[in-house]
Protein backbone atom coordinates (compact mmCIF):
# COMPACT_ATOMS: atom_id res chain seq x y z
CA UNK A 1 0.00 0.00 0.00
CA UNK A 2 2.82 2.37 0.84
CA UNK A 3 3.83 2.99 -2.75
CA UNK A 4 0.27 3.49 -4.04
CA UNK A 5 -0.55 7.05 -4.91
CA UNK A 6 -3.61 8.65 -3.45
CA UNK A 7 -6.80 8.91 -5.49
CA UNK A 8 -5.83 6.37 -8.11
CA UNK A 9 -8.28 3.89 -9.58
CA UNK A 10 -7.49 0.49 -8.08
CA UNK A 11 -10.08 -1.52 -9.97
CA UNK A 12 -12.12 -1.20 -13.11
CA UNK A 13 -14.28 -3.71 -14.87
CA UNK A 14 -16.62 -4.12 -17.79
CA UNK A 15 -19.29 -6.70 -18.33
CA UNK A 16 -19.86 -7.84 -21.89
CA UNK A 17 -23.37 -8.69 -23.07
CA UNK A 18 -23.35 -11.37 -25.76
CA UNK A 19 -26.17 -11.75 -28.24
CA UNK A 20 -25.64 -13.62 -31.50
CA UNK A 21 -29.19 -14.52 -32.52
CA UNK A 22 -31.67 -11.70 -32.08
CA UNK A 23 -35.44 -11.79 -31.56
CA UNK A 24 -36.13 -11.66 -35.28
CA UNK A 25 -33.92 -14.63 -35.95
CA UNK A 26 -31.07 -12.55 -37.39
CA UNK A 27 -27.69 -14.14 -36.82
CA UNK A 28 -24.49 -12.19 -36.23
CA UNK A 29 -22.44 -14.23 -38.67
CA UNK A 30 -19.09 -13.00 -37.40
CA UNK A 31 -19.77 -14.03 -33.79
CA UNK A 32 -21.51 -17.22 -34.87
CA UNK A 33 -18.49 -18.42 -36.80
CA UNK A 34 -17.19 -21.73 -35.47
CA UNK A 35 -20.05 -22.15 -33.02
CA UNK A 36 -23.13 -24.25 -33.75
CA UNK A 37 -23.35 -26.24 -36.96
CA UNK A 38 -26.66 -26.30 -38.82
CA UNK A 39 -27.23 -29.84 -37.62
CA UNK A 40 -26.65 -28.74 -34.03
CA UNK A 41 -29.06 -25.83 -34.38
CA UNK A 42 -31.67 -28.25 -35.68
CA UNK A 43 -30.89 -30.66 -32.83
CA UNK A 44 -31.28 -27.94 -30.20
CA UNK A 45 -34.45 -26.60 -31.82
CA UNK A 46 -35.93 -30.08 -31.76
CA UNK A 47 -34.92 -30.56 -28.12
CA UNK A 48 -36.39 -27.20 -27.14
CA UNK A 49 -39.64 -28.06 -28.89
CA UNK A 50 -39.79 -31.45 -27.21
CA UNK A 51 -39.06 -29.88 -23.82
CA UNK A 52 -41.75 -27.24 -24.37
CA UNK A 53 -44.22 -30.02 -25.08
CA UNK A 54 -42.91 -31.94 -22.05
CA UNK A 55 -43.70 -28.87 -19.94
CA UNK A 56 -47.23 -28.66 -21.31
CA UNK A 57 -47.86 -32.32 -20.66
CA UNK A 58 -46.38 -32.01 -17.17
CA UNK A 59 -48.75 -29.13 -16.50
CA UNK A 60 -51.69 -31.25 -17.62
CA UNK A 61 -50.53 -34.19 -15.53
CA UNK A 62 -50.52 -31.94 -12.49
CA UNK A 63 -53.90 -30.42 -13.27
CA UNK A 64 -55.45 -33.84 -13.73
CA UNK A 65 -54.03 -35.12 -10.44
CA UNK A 66 -51.49 -37.48 -11.96
CA UNK A 67 -48.50 -35.50 -10.71
CA UNK A 68 -47.65 -33.12 -7.86
CA UNK A 69 -46.33 -29.60 -8.11
CA UNK A 70 -44.21 -28.96 -11.20
CA UNK A 71 -42.08 -25.95 -12.20
CA UNK A 72 -42.35 -25.21 -15.89
CA UNK A 73 -39.15 -24.34 -17.76
CA UNK A 74 -41.13 -22.53 -20.47
CA UNK A 75 -39.26 -19.64 -22.04
CA UNK A 76 -35.92 -20.58 -20.49
CA UNK A 77 -34.92 -23.41 -22.81
CA UNK A 78 -32.21 -21.67 -24.83
CA UNK A 79 -29.69 -20.95 -22.07
CA UNK A 80 -29.47 -24.49 -20.71
CA UNK A 81 -29.75 -25.89 -24.26
CA UNK A 82 -26.67 -24.15 -25.63
CA UNK A 83 -24.79 -24.53 -22.37
CA UNK A 84 -25.79 -28.17 -22.10
CA UNK A 85 -24.52 -28.95 -25.58
CA UNK A 86 -21.20 -27.19 -24.88
CA UNK A 87 -20.82 -29.21 -21.67
CA UNK A 88 -21.61 -32.46 -23.49
CA UNK A 89 -19.18 -31.79 -26.30
CA UNK A 90 -16.20 -30.74 -24.21
CA UNK A 91 -15.79 -33.80 -21.96
CA UNK A 92 -17.74 -36.79 -20.65
CA UNK A 93 -16.14 -36.06 -17.27
CA UNK A 94 -17.91 -32.71 -16.87
CA UNK A 95 -20.50 -32.40 -14.11
CA UNK A 96 -23.86 -30.63 -14.07
CA UNK A 97 -25.24 -29.46 -10.74
CA UNK A 98 -28.72 -28.18 -11.47
CA UNK A 99 -31.56 -26.28 -9.91
CA UNK A 100 -34.93 -27.25 -11.47
CA UNK A 101 -35.25 -25.04 -14.52
CA UNK A 102 -32.58 -26.65 -16.66
CA UNK A 103 -34.32 -29.85 -17.73
CA UNK A 104 -33.01 -29.59 -21.26
CA UNK A 105 -29.33 -29.40 -20.18
CA UNK A 106 -29.84 -32.58 -18.15
CA UNK A 107 -31.54 -34.45 -20.99
CA UNK A 108 -28.78 -33.40 -23.40
CA UNK A 109 -26.27 -34.89 -20.98
CA UNK A 110 -27.85 -38.27 -20.55
CA UNK A 111 -30.50 -37.97 -17.85
CA UNK A 112 -33.50 -40.09 -18.90
CA UNK A 113 -36.48 -37.78 -19.38
CA UNK A 114 -38.81 -39.76 -17.13
CA UNK A 115 -36.54 -39.01 -14.17
CA UNK A 116 -37.74 -35.43 -13.85
CA UNK A 117 -41.40 -36.44 -14.04
CA UNK A 118 -40.80 -39.17 -11.47
CA UNK A 119 -39.24 -36.63 -9.14
CA UNK A 120 -42.32 -34.42 -9.32
CA UNK A 121 -44.53 -37.49 -8.98
CA UNK A 122 -43.12 -37.80 -5.45
CA UNK A 123 -40.77 -40.66 -6.24
CA UNK A 124 -37.12 -40.55 -5.20
CA UNK A 125 -36.25 -42.84 -8.08
CA UNK A 126 -36.49 -39.68 -10.15
CA UNK A 127 -33.24 -38.65 -8.44
CA UNK A 128 -31.57 -42.02 -8.97
CA UNK A 129 -28.91 -41.05 -11.46
CA UNK A 130 -27.75 -43.78 -13.87
CA UNK A 131 -24.11 -44.87 -13.67
CA UNK A 132 -21.85 -42.79 -15.84
CA UNK A 133 -24.14 -39.75 -15.85
CA UNK A 134 -22.41 -36.90 -14.02
CA UNK A 135 -25.48 -35.02 -12.89
CA UNK A 136 -26.70 -34.37 -9.36
CA UNK A 137 -30.40 -34.64 -8.55
CA UNK A 138 -32.30 -31.40 -9.06
CA UNK A 139 -32.00 -29.14 -6.04
CA UNK A 140 -35.16 -27.90 -4.37
CA UNK A 141 -33.75 -25.52 -1.72
CA UNK A 142 -32.48 -22.39 -3.39
CA UNK A 143 -28.79 -21.74 -3.84
CA UNK A 144 -27.36 -24.45 -1.59
CA UNK A 145 -26.12 -26.72 -4.38
CA UNK A 146 -23.50 -24.46 -6.02
CA UNK A 147 -21.27 -25.41 -3.09
CA UNK A 148 -21.52 -29.02 -4.22
CA UNK A 149 -20.50 -27.96 -7.71
CA UNK A 150 -17.51 -26.14 -6.24
CA UNK A 151 -16.59 -29.27 -4.26
CA UNK A 152 -16.88 -31.48 -7.33
CA UNK A 153 -14.76 -29.00 -9.30
CA UNK A 154 -12.24 -29.19 -6.46
CA UNK A 155 -12.12 -32.99 -6.76
CA UNK A 156 -11.66 -32.69 -10.55
CA UNK A 157 -8.75 -30.36 -9.96
CA UNK A 158 -7.28 -32.65 -7.29
CA UNK A 159 -7.48 -35.58 -9.71
CA UNK A 160 -6.11 -33.40 -12.52
CA UNK A 161 -9.06 -34.25 -14.73
CA UNK A 162 -9.55 -32.19 -17.85
CA UNK A 163 -13.13 -31.36 -16.89
CA UNK A 164 -15.31 -28.82 -15.12
CA UNK A 165 -18.37 -28.62 -12.87
CA UNK A 166 -21.23 -26.32 -13.84
CA UNK A 167 -23.69 -24.97 -11.27
CA UNK A 168 -27.07 -23.77 -12.55
CA UNK A 169 -29.15 -21.46 -10.38
CA UNK A 170 -31.49 -18.48 -10.64
CA UNK A 171 -31.44 -14.78 -9.86
CA UNK A 172 -33.08 -15.33 -6.48
CA UNK A 173 -30.36 -17.77 -5.48
CA UNK A 174 -27.72 -15.05 -5.67
CA UNK A 175 -29.20 -13.59 -2.49
CA UNK A 176 -28.39 -16.79 -0.60
CA UNK A 177 -25.21 -16.89 1.48
CA UNK A 178 -24.23 -20.27 0.09
CA UNK A 179 -23.96 -18.86 -3.44
CA UNK A 180 -21.55 -16.26 -2.10
CA UNK A 181 -19.54 -18.98 -0.37
CA UNK A 182 -19.51 -21.20 -3.45
CA UNK A 183 -18.36 -18.36 -5.69
CA UNK A 184 -15.76 -17.35 -3.14
CA UNK A 185 -14.36 -20.85 -2.61
CA UNK A 186 -14.18 -21.39 -6.36
CA UNK A 187 -12.35 -18.11 -6.85
CA UNK A 188 -10.01 -18.34 -3.86
CA UNK A 189 -9.09 -21.97 -4.51
CA UNK A 190 -8.98 -21.61 -8.30
CA UNK A 191 -11.56 -24.30 -9.00
CA UNK A 192 -12.66 -25.34 -12.50
CA UNK A 193 -16.24 -24.28 -11.93
CA UNK A 194 -18.70 -22.38 -14.10
CA UNK A 195 -21.59 -20.56 -12.44
CA UNK A 196 -24.59 -20.27 -14.76
CA UNK A 197 -27.17 -17.88 -13.35
CA UNK A 198 -30.50 -17.79 -15.14
CA UNK A 199 -31.92 -14.37 -14.46
CA UNK A 200 -35.60 -14.87 -15.26
CA UNK A 201 -36.56 -11.67 -13.39
CA UNK A 202 -38.77 -13.39 -10.81
CA UNK A 203 -38.14 -15.43 -7.67
CA UNK A 204 -41.73 -16.59 -7.26
CA UNK A 205 -43.32 -13.17 -6.67
CA UNK A 206 -40.26 -11.12 -5.81
CA UNK A 207 -38.88 -9.14 -8.73
CA UNK A 208 -35.25 -9.05 -9.76
CA UNK A 209 -34.85 -5.48 -8.47
CA UNK A 210 -35.72 -6.57 -4.93
CA UNK A 211 -33.01 -9.23 -4.95
CA UNK A 212 -30.12 -6.88 -5.52
CA UNK A 213 -29.10 -3.31 -6.21
CA UNK A 214 -26.41 -4.57 -8.61
CA UNK A 215 -26.90 -3.41 -12.19
CA UNK A 216 -26.26 -6.95 -13.40
CA UNK A 217 -26.02 -10.38 -11.83
CA UNK A 218 -22.92 -11.07 -13.87
CA UNK A 219 -20.94 -8.46 -11.97
CA UNK A 220 -21.39 -10.37 -8.74
CA UNK A 221 -18.67 -12.74 -9.92
CA UNK A 222 -16.16 -9.88 -10.13
CA UNK A 223 -15.87 -9.73 -6.36
CA UNK A 224 -14.74 -13.37 -6.33
CA UNK A 225 -12.18 -13.02 -9.09
CA UNK A 226 -14.35 -14.70 -11.69
CA UNK A 227 -14.43 -13.88 -15.34
CA UNK A 228 -17.94 -12.50 -15.83
CA UNK A 229 -20.20 -12.29 -18.83
CA UNK A 230 -23.86 -11.60 -19.49
CA UNK A 231 -25.66 -13.26 -22.36
CA UNK A 232 -29.01 -13.13 -24.03
CA UNK A 233 -30.36 -16.20 -22.34
CA UNK A 234 -32.88 -16.85 -25.11
CA UNK A 235 -30.13 -17.22 -27.70
CA UNK A 236 -28.72 -20.73 -28.20
CA UNK A 237 -25.70 -19.40 -30.09
CA UNK A 238 -24.73 -17.12 -27.22
CA UNK A 239 -25.25 -19.74 -24.54
CA UNK A 240 -23.34 -22.36 -26.53
CA UNK A 241 -20.42 -20.12 -27.38
CA UNK A 242 -20.08 -18.51 -23.98
CA UNK A 243 -20.27 -21.85 -22.14
CA UNK A 244 -17.80 -23.43 -24.55
CA UNK A 245 -15.37 -20.55 -24.02
CA UNK A 246 -16.00 -20.55 -20.27
CA UNK A 247 -15.08 -24.23 -19.99
CA UNK A 248 -11.89 -23.61 -21.91
CA UNK A 249 -11.13 -20.57 -19.78
CA UNK A 250 -11.55 -22.25 -16.39
CA UNK A 251 -9.48 -25.23 -17.52
CA UNK A 252 -6.61 -23.17 -18.84
CA UNK A 253 -6.70 -20.11 -16.59
CA UNK A 254 -7.62 -21.73 -13.28
CA UNK A 255 -10.32 -19.15 -12.61
CA UNK A 256 -14.09 -19.63 -12.49
CA UNK A 257 -16.50 -18.00 -14.91
CA UNK A 258 -19.79 -16.44 -13.87
CA UNK A 259 -22.41 -16.30 -16.62
CA UNK A 260 -25.66 -14.38 -16.30
CA UNK A 261 -28.23 -15.56 -18.82
CA UNK A 262 -30.95 -12.93 -19.16
CA UNK A 263 -34.20 -14.72 -19.83
CA UNK A 264 -37.77 -14.74 -18.65
CA UNK A 265 -40.06 -17.19 -16.90
CA UNK A 266 -43.00 -17.32 -19.30
CA UNK A 267 -44.97 -19.56 -16.96
CA UNK A 268 -45.87 -19.44 -13.31
CA UNK A 269 -43.22 -20.30 -10.71
CA UNK A 270 -44.83 -23.72 -10.35
CA UNK A 271 -48.23 -25.25 -10.90
CA UNK A 272 -49.03 -24.07 -7.35
CA UNK A 273 -48.43 -20.45 -8.30
CA UNK A 274 -50.49 -17.82 -10.12
CA UNK A 275 -48.19 -15.14 -11.49
CA UNK A 276 -51.13 -12.88 -12.36
CA UNK A 277 -51.23 -11.96 -8.67
CA UNK A 278 -47.97 -10.08 -8.87
CA UNK A 279 -46.82 -9.77 -12.48
CA UNK A 280 -47.74 -7.18 -15.07
CA UNK A 281 -49.40 -8.67 -18.16
CA UNK A 282 -47.62 -6.18 -20.42
CA UNK A 283 -44.25 -7.31 -19.13
CA UNK A 284 -45.15 -10.90 -19.90
CA UNK A 285 -46.36 -9.93 -23.37
CA UNK A 286 -43.10 -8.15 -24.14
CA UNK A 287 -41.20 -11.36 -23.42
CA UNK A 288 -43.48 -13.65 -25.37
CA UNK A 289 -42.06 -12.17 -28.56
CA UNK A 290 -38.53 -12.94 -27.33
CA UNK A 291 -39.35 -16.63 -26.99
CA UNK A 292 -36.27 -18.68 -27.89
CA UNK A 293 -38.28 -21.17 -29.93
CA UNK A 294 -39.69 -18.45 -32.17
CA UNK A 295 -36.35 -16.87 -32.98
CA UNK A 296 -34.59 -20.19 -33.51
CA UNK A 297 -37.28 -21.30 -35.94
CA UNK A 298 -37.08 -17.98 -37.79
CA UNK A 299 -33.35 -18.45 -38.13
CA UNK A 300 -33.74 -21.97 -39.46
CA UNK A 301 -36.39 -20.83 -41.92
CA UNK A 302 -34.16 -18.03 -43.16
CA UNK A 303 -31.46 -20.57 -43.82
CA UNK A 304 -33.92 -22.80 -45.66
CA UNK A 305 -33.52 -25.51 -43.07
CA UNK A 306 -37.07 -25.48 -41.78
CA UNK A 307 -40.65 -25.30 -43.02
CA UNK A 308 -44.21 -26.03 -41.94
CA UNK A 309 -44.00 -29.66 -42.96
CA UNK A 310 -40.93 -30.19 -40.79
CA UNK A 311 -42.62 -28.37 -37.95
CA UNK A 312 -45.68 -30.60 -38.21
CA UNK A 313 -43.49 -33.68 -38.27
CA UNK A 314 -41.56 -32.43 -35.23
CA UNK A 315 -44.77 -31.72 -33.33
CA UNK A 316 -45.91 -35.27 -33.98
CA UNK A 317 -42.53 -36.63 -32.94
CA UNK A 318 -42.52 -34.53 -29.76
CA UNK A 319 -45.95 -35.82 -28.84
CA UNK A 320 -44.98 -39.41 -29.46
CA UNK A 321 -41.70 -39.00 -27.59
CA UNK A 322 -43.25 -37.37 -24.53
CA UNK A 323 -46.11 -39.89 -24.52
CA UNK A 324 -43.45 -42.58 -24.19
CA UNK A 325 -41.75 -40.69 -21.37
CA UNK A 326 -45.03 -40.34 -19.47
CA UNK A 327 -45.74 -44.03 -19.99
CA UNK A 328 -42.37 -44.94 -18.51
CA UNK A 329 -42.83 -42.57 -15.56
CA UNK A 330 -46.34 -43.79 -14.79
CA UNK A 331 -45.57 -47.39 -15.61
CA UNK A 332 -42.81 -47.87 -13.09
CA UNK A 333 -43.61 -50.42 -10.41
CA UNK A 334 -44.78 -48.79 -7.18
CA UNK A 335 -42.06 -48.09 -4.64
CA UNK A 336 -41.93 -50.39 -1.64
CA UNK A 337 -41.98 -49.30 1.98
CA UNK A 338 -38.52 -50.85 2.31
CA UNK A 339 -37.26 -48.00 0.12
CA UNK A 340 -37.96 -45.55 2.96
CA UNK A 341 -35.39 -47.34 5.08
CA UNK A 342 -32.91 -48.95 2.75
CA UNK A 343 -30.97 -45.88 1.65
CA UNK A 344 -30.62 -44.10 4.98
CA UNK A 345 -27.18 -45.64 5.42
CA UNK A 346 -25.07 -48.11 3.45
CA UNK A 347 -25.74 -50.60 6.27
CA UNK A 348 -28.84 -50.17 8.39
CA UNK A 349 -28.40 -49.76 12.14
CA UNK A 350 -30.28 -52.29 14.24
CA UNK A 351 -33.00 -49.86 15.32
CA UNK A 352 -33.79 -49.05 11.69
CA UNK A 353 -33.86 -52.76 10.88
CA UNK A 354 -36.46 -53.21 13.62
CA UNK A 355 -38.54 -50.28 12.37
CA UNK A 356 -38.34 -51.63 8.83
CA UNK A 357 -39.28 -55.16 9.86
CA UNK A 358 -42.14 -54.21 12.17
CA UNK A 359 -43.18 -50.85 10.65
CA UNK A 360 -43.62 -49.77 14.24
CA UNK A 361 -41.90 -47.17 16.34
CA UNK A 362 -43.53 -48.20 19.61
CA UNK A 363 -41.48 -50.20 22.07
CA UNK A 364 -44.12 -52.71 23.10
CA UNK A 365 -43.59 -56.10 21.59
CA UNK A 366 -40.00 -55.35 20.75
CA UNK A 367 -38.48 -56.76 23.93
CA UNK A 368 -39.78 -60.34 24.04
CA UNK A 369 -37.63 -61.18 27.04
CA UNK A 370 -39.72 -58.64 28.97
CA UNK A 371 -42.93 -60.28 27.84
CA UNK A 372 -41.69 -63.55 29.28
CA UNK A 373 -40.87 -61.80 32.52
CA UNK A 374 -44.40 -60.42 32.74
CA UNK A 375 -46.10 -63.77 32.16
CA UNK A 376 -44.04 -65.58 34.81
CA UNK A 377 -44.79 -63.84 38.12
- Measured between alpha carbons, how far is residue 262 from residues 47, 100, 115, 257, 307 in Å? 20, 17, 27, 16, 29
Q: Which is nearer to another protein, 19 or 175 (CB)?
A: 175
Annotation says 278 is catalytic? yes
As beta bridge partners, residue 335 has none
Q: Are strands 206-207 and 202-203 parallel, antiparallel or unpaired?
A: antiparallel
Write down the least CB distance from residue 335 to another protein, Å. Answer: 9
Write down the least CB distance from residue 212 to another protein, Å. Answer: 20
Cα dihedral 360, 363, 366, 370, rounded to 10, equals -160
Phi first, then psi, for residue 162 (nearest 5°) are -85, 65
> Which of 278, 343, 357, 360 is the catalytic position?
278
CA-nearest of 145, 85, 126 to 109 is 85
Query: Can you tell me the distance from the alpha carbon of 245 to that of 243, in angstroms, rounded to the nearest whole number?
Result: 5
Q: Which is nearer to another protein, 38 or 351 (CB)?
A: 351
Write down the least CB distance from residue 367 to another protein, Å. Answer: 4
Write down the least CB distance from residue 370 to another protein, Å. Answer: 5
Write down the least CB distance from residue 64 to another protein, Å. Answer: 26
DSSP structural state of residue 109: T
> Which of 255, 265, 295, 297 is the catalytic position?
265
Q: Which is nearer to another protein, 220 or 297 (CB)?
A: 220
Query: Can you tell me the distance from the alpha carbon of 81 to that of 104, in angstroms, rounded to the nearest whole number?
Result: 6
CB atoms under 10 Å from CB of 238, counted, come to 30
Q: Which residues bind another protein (CB under 8 A)?
A: 95, 97, 124-125, 127-131, 136-137, 141, 144-145, 147-156, 158-159, 165, 177-178, 181-182, 184-185, 188-189, 339, 342-346, 349-352, 363-364, 366-367, 369-370, 373-374
Annotation says 17 is catalytic? no
CA-nearest of 259, 145, 267, 146 to 202 is 267
Q: Which is nearer to another protein, 283 or 339 (CB)?
A: 339
Write down the least CB distance from residue 160 to another protein, Å. Answer: 10
> Which of 269, 295, 297, 299 is the catalytic position?
269
Q: Which is nearer to another protein, 89 or 125 (CB)?
A: 125
Annotation says 277 is catalytic? no
- Measured between alpha carbons, how far is residue 312 from residues 75, 90, 316, 369, 372 in Å? 21, 33, 6, 73, 75
CB 218 within 8 A of CB 258: yes
Q: Which is nearer to another protein, 180 or 310 (CB)?
A: 180
Residue 359 exposed, middle or buried by CB count within 10 Å (0-12, 13-18, 19+): exposed
Question: Would you name the residues annotated as active-site residues?
Answer: 265, 269, 278
Amino acid sequence: MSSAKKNTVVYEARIEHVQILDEQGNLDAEQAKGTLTDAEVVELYEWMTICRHYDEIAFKLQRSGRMGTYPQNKGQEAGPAGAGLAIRKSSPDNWLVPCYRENIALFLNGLPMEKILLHWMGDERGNQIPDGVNILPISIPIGTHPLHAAGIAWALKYRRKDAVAVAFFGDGATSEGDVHEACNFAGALGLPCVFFCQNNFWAISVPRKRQTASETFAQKGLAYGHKCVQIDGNDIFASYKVMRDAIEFVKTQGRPVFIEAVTYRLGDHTTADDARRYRDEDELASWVSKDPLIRTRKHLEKKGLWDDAKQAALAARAKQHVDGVVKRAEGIEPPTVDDIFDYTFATLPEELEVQKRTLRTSGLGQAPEQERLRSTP
